[in-house]
Amino acid sequence: MSEFDVVKGLANIYSRINAVCRKNGLDFTPRLVAVSKTKPKELIISAYEQGQRNFGENYIQELSEKSNDTEILEKCKEIKWHFIGNIQRNKVIKLVSSPGLYLVETVDNEKLATALDTAWQKLQKEEPLRVMVQVNTSDEEEKGGCEPEKSCDLVEFIIKSCPSLKFVGLMTIGIFGYDISNGPNPDFLTLRRCRDNVCSKLNFNTKDIEISMGMSDDFEHAIELGSTSVRVGTAIFGHREQKKKNSESDN
């Protein structure tokens, strides 16, 4: 995809986000995470130069390479990396050592939370590491995420037992290709119920918990159902070749 196409793609997505916000009378603009997995650094830099700051990666090795790239470090000083893929605990140190790591969206069990907490402590960072709890709302074995009914317990564990982590919200991938003519996406409704449950049991204000859901083919619908952060790759950077078959897909 050419540099011009990336610029055009970004403008189109922001225009659509703004349109759905106006239509639904929202008083905030959801965050756009540009999913750059498998894409070359040149396209990331082009998007950054258009004002994009939040980028999502699915593979720890690829995030490490891109975040440490000298040209990205020089030209994208305010970049915010979101990790949105599966995390093997033996790669946690490499993940948290990535420059510009802003948010880990895929914490789905206590052992992983503890590993991230320990690794972040060792780096002696001034600020805690932002994390989201990933929820498997579609009950698909190949997808990561805790069971919806266990999401509140995991959030509570992070808050009480992981002082170097800061819980900021919930994330889901959801089933692909859902036809909204059949009604609101049940995965999005489930994540919203998880958010409401966390608020009720742990005394959070709903505005204090982010919801990360929605991708290239359904981000507008996700925003209508309460998403505060959407992850869009294909509609910005073009189609990608599958690096490998796994559960780390973003859109």
pLDDT in tens, 48-75: 999 999 999 999 999 999 999 999 999 9
> With 80 as the cut, is the pLDDT of residue 227 above it?
yes
CB 113 within 8 A of CB 158: yes
- Residue that the structure tokens 């409401």 belong to: 196
pLDDT band at residue 242 under the 50/70/90 scheme: low
pLDDT of residue 3: 64
pLDDT band at residue 174 under the 50/70/90 scheme: confident
- Residue that the structure tokens 């509140």 belong to: 152
Mean pLDDT of the chain: 94
Side-chain-side CA neighbours of 251 within 13 Å: the count stands at 27
**Long-range contacts made by residues 106-109, C-beta under 8 angstroms, separation at least 24?**
106/132, 106/134, 106/144, 106/145, 106/171, 107/131, 107/132, 107/133, 107/134, 107/154, 107/158, 107/165, 108/133, 108/134, 108/135, 108/136, 108/144, 108/145, 108/146, 108/154, 109/146, 109/154
| First-to-last C-alpha distance (Å) of the chain | 17
pLDDT tens for each residue of 8-40: 999 999 999 999 999 999 999 999 999 999 999
Q: How far is CA 198 from CA 172, 203, 211, in A?
A: 15, 8, 12
**Structural domains of the chain in order of their starting residue, each with its CATH number:** 6-232 (3.20.20.10)
Q: Which residues on neighbouring strands pair with residue 104, listed in sequence order? A: 83, 131
Mean pLDDT of 202-217: 96
Mean pLDDT of 198-223: 96
| DSSP classification of residue 216 | T
> With 50 as the cut, is the pLDDT of residue 249 above it?
no
Q: Which of 189, 190, 226 is nearest to 211 (CA)?
A: 226
pLDDT band at residue 239 under the 50/70/90 scheme: confident
